């Protein structure tokens, strides 16, 4: 066996030695400070521990050029200013036992020493009963310490980040990516601490400004907007659980909006995310996820937050009990409080009144069988017991002869018919209607876009961005007109008319873009038509009136096909003879 002799000759004559103070501090800093996000997080947590009611954050070039955090907190005692820049100097714990009953966000005394080791940091602070002082460090060395005029609180400016470690700069993202991470962090803290007013300014543009009134819904609205917040329900269980979660009318294609804090500390825990998913099981569509933010208050002795330097991973003494509690409180809230809005079809003019069923040129874009682009759901075909009772054939049924008698689970329209009972999937039916309407407008070269009075900016990951830009002209045919803003952002100036009346236009656009990587797309025109039709359609568990159901069926009767664009059936028929046989009637 050949051994790796790289550097072995040099190592043979070396002796163990202590690293220099400067080198050691840079290595230690790397465990705590990985990016501008790390700095902002550490400084904000210090501000929150200092009982601040207002925290202003300003960044330049994604925080790479400059980070400024100003608060109105308790301030730092003049005698402690130099001490806080030494490692393991902290006012928050006294012994190892204190680690298991933490009530503060910071505790290790590593933040400021680590920041000063890899940047230039200027700190000005004043307690209410003392004079203000200014201190400045550059690459771990003190270069200034003097009296300074300042109101109560602390003002910190960080510049020259990683100037002494150029290799670290190469691993940072673009300014847009770093800014986006910081914005997400501030957004999360704004909801955890609704009583604190947060302001985030990025390159002189205000990105976040929360009211700081103490109302979690007001804080949530300042981050996510009124339309999403209108769908949010408050969660509460004794003093242990608080937060918000969306009703069943709104969901997204990823889990990024399911978030948790424990004792007001942001955490990541896949088990708790799964508890929320389980609570929504059967209430929203598969592979869709709610907006949820849950604050857990628990005895500090029952958790361990010192698992990772970032302090976002924690261990519960009894994770199963926490899982069950989260599942129960979320499920109870959404099943007892969820109010599902009705939709007004009279405002939607997207349906063709007289669809030409004999027009064989409708699909003139060489669209192939939909199974080529979507995974067809074969659950119906594989269920022999179901097929023995229900007729899933796609033969044309005269829907004009049907009569709506009710809706099952706010999802399936039940109709009587001379041939038996019809069960119609309201989402699939609406999707088919919208799909054929879009293709008809496209065929007639109608303008199916709606210009926006105020353009929408969306951040996108790099893989989706490349695909989106390469098919920009195809999207434009469908009314979605956008331009590159930078290497990971687009600015949208026009949207498909069919979704222009949606309460959550931004959310619909995000859903369309998010699904770009979900499957291998071979016909973009078909895919975009189907995707827009889906996002414009009434969702499962959306309450419809009988009149709205009848209007939907009337329009469905004018459609060429009775399966949705994904190839799934829209109508199931329970024949009258099957019903008679079940009751042993001849």
The tens digit of pLDDT for each residue in 519-559 reads 566 677 888 888 889 888 998 888 999 999 999 999 999 99
pLDDT at position 21 is 54
Strands 133-138 and 54-60: unpaired
Looking at residue 130, the DSSP 8-state letter turns out to be S
Q: What is the mean pLDDT of residues 450-478?
A: 82
CA distance 403 to 553: 10
Each residue of 123-150: pLDDT tens digit? 999 999 888 999 999 888 888 898 988 8
pLDDT at position 252 is 84
Between 502 and 431, where is the model more confident? 431
Between 180 and 100, where is the model more confident? 180
Q: How does DSSP assign 504-559, residue by residue?
A: THHHHHHHHHHGGGTS--S-HHHHHHHHHHHHHSPPTT----HHHHHHHHHHHTT-
Domains delineated in the chain: 21-209 (3.30.565.10), 231-337 (3.30.230.10), 370-576 (3.30.1370.100)
Which of 1-15, 183-197, 548-562 has the largest mean confidence?
183-197
Please list, in sequence order, all residues whose beta carbon lies within 8 angstroms of the beta carbon of residue 121, skipping any fewer than 6 positions away.
Answer: 112, 115, 136, 137, 138, 156, 157, 158
Residue located via tokens 């700069």: 169
pLDDT at position 359 is 33
* pTM of the complete model beyond 0.75: no
Query: With contact defined as beta carbons under 8 Å apart, do 535 and 401 qualify?
Result: no
Q: What is the mean pLDDT of residues 259-277?
A: 91
Query: With contact defined as beta carbons under 8 Å apart, do 296 and 241 qualify?
Result: yes
CA torsion 416-417-422-424 (nearest 10°) is: -90
Q: How does DSSP assign 179-226, residue by residue?
A: HHHHHHHHHHHHHH-TTSEEEEEETTEEEEE---SS-HHHHHHHHH-H
pLDDT at position 392 is 46
Q: How far is CA 373 from the centre of its chain?
A: 26
pLDDT at position 518 is 55
pLDDT at position 348 is 37
Which structure tokens are listed for 347? 């405002």
CA torsion 100-105-110-111 (nearest 10°) is: 170
CA 91 vs CA 23, 81, 126, 334, 511: distances in Å: 26, 12, 17, 42, 46
pLDDT at position 40 is 95
Looking at residue 246, the DSSP 8-state letter turns out to be E
Band of residue 517 on the pLDDT scale cut at 50, 70, 90: low
Looking at residue 73, the DSSP 8-state letter turns out to be S
Task: Classify each residue of 260-289 as buried b or exposed e, where b means 16 or more C-beta atoms within 10 Å of its C-beta.
Answer: bbbbbbbbebeebbebbbebbeebbbeebb
Among 10-19, 35-44, 122-131, 275-284, the minimum mean pLDDT is found in: 10-19
Among 43-52, 455-464, 512-521, the minimum mean pLDDT is found in: 512-521
Query: With contact defined as beta carbons under 8 Å apart, do 449 and 482 qualify?
Result: no
Q: What percent of the chain has pLDDT over 90?
A: 32
């Amino acid at each position: 066996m050949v051994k790796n002799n790289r550097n072995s000759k040099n190592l043979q004559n070396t002796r163990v030695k202590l690293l220099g103070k400067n080198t050691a501090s840079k290595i230690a800093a790397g465990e705590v400070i990985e990016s501008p996000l790390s700095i902002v997080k550490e400084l904000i947590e210090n501000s929150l521990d200092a009982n601040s009611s207002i925290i202003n954050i300003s960044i330049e070039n994604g925080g790479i050029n400059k980070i400024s955090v100003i608060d109105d907190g308790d301030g730092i005692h003049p005698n402690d200013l130099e001490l806080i820049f030494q490692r393991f100097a902290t006012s928050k714990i006294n012994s190892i036992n204190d680690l298991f009953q933490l009530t503060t966000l910071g505790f290790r005394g590593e933040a400021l020493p680590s920041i000063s080791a890899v940047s230039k940091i200027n700190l000005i602070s004043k307690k209410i009963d003392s004079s203000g002082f200014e201190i400045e460090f550059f690459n771990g060395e003190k270069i200034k310490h003097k009296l300074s005029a300042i109101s109560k609180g602390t003002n910190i400016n960080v510049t020259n980040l990683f100037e002494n470690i150029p290799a670290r700069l190469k691993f940072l993202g673009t300014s847009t990516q770093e800014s986006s991470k910081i914005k997400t962090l501030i957004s999360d803290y704004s909801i955890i601490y609704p009583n604190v007013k947060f302001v985030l300014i990025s390159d002189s543009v205000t990105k976040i400004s929360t009211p700081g009134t103490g109302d979690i819904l007001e804080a949530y609205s300042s981050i996510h907007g009124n339309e999403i917040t209108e769908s949010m329900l408050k969660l509460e269980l004794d003093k242990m659980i608080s937060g918000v979660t969306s009703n069943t009318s709104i969901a997204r294609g990823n889990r990024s909006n399911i978030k948790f804090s424990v004792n007001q500390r942001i955490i990541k825990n896949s088990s708790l995310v799964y508890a929320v998913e389980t609570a929504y099981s059967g209430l929203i569509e598969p592979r869709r996820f709610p907006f949820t933010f849950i604050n857990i208050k628990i005895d500090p002795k029952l958790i361990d937050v010192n698992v990772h330097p970032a302090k976002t991973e924690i261990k519960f003494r009894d994770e199963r009990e926490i899982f069950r509690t989260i599942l129960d409180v979320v499920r109870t809230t959404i099943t007892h409080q969820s109010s599902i809005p009705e939709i007004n079809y009279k405002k939607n003019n997207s349906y063709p009144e007289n669809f030409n069923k004999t027009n064989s040129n409708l699909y003139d874009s060489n669209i192939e069988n939909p199974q080529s682009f979507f995974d067809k759901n074969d659950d119906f075909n594989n269920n022999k017991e179901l097929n023995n009772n229900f007729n899933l054939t796609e033969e044309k049924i005269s829907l004009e002869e049907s009569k709506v008698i009710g809706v099952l689970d706010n999802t399936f329209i039940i109709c009587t018919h001379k041939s038996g009972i019809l069960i119609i999937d309201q989402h699939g039916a609406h999707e088919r209607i919208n799909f054929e309407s879009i293709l008809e407008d496209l065929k007639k070269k109608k303008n199916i876009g709606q210009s926006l009075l105020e353009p929408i900016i969306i951040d996108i990951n790099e893989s989706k961005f490349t695909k989106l830009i390469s098919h920009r002209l195809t999207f434009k045919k469908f009314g979605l007109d956008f331009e590159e803003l930078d290497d990971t952002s687009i600015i949208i100036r026009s949207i498909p008319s069919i979704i222009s009346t949606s309460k959550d236009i931004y959310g619909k656009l995000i859903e369309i873009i998010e699904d770009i990587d979900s499957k291998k797309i071979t016909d973009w025109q078909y895919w975009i038509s189907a995707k827009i039709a889906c996002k414009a359609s009434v969702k499962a568990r959306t309450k419809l009136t009988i009149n709205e159901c009848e209007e939907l069926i009337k329009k469905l009767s004018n459609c060429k096909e009775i399966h949705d664009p994904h190839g799934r059936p829209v109508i199931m028929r329970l024949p009258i003879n099957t019903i008679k046989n079940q009751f042993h009637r001849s």
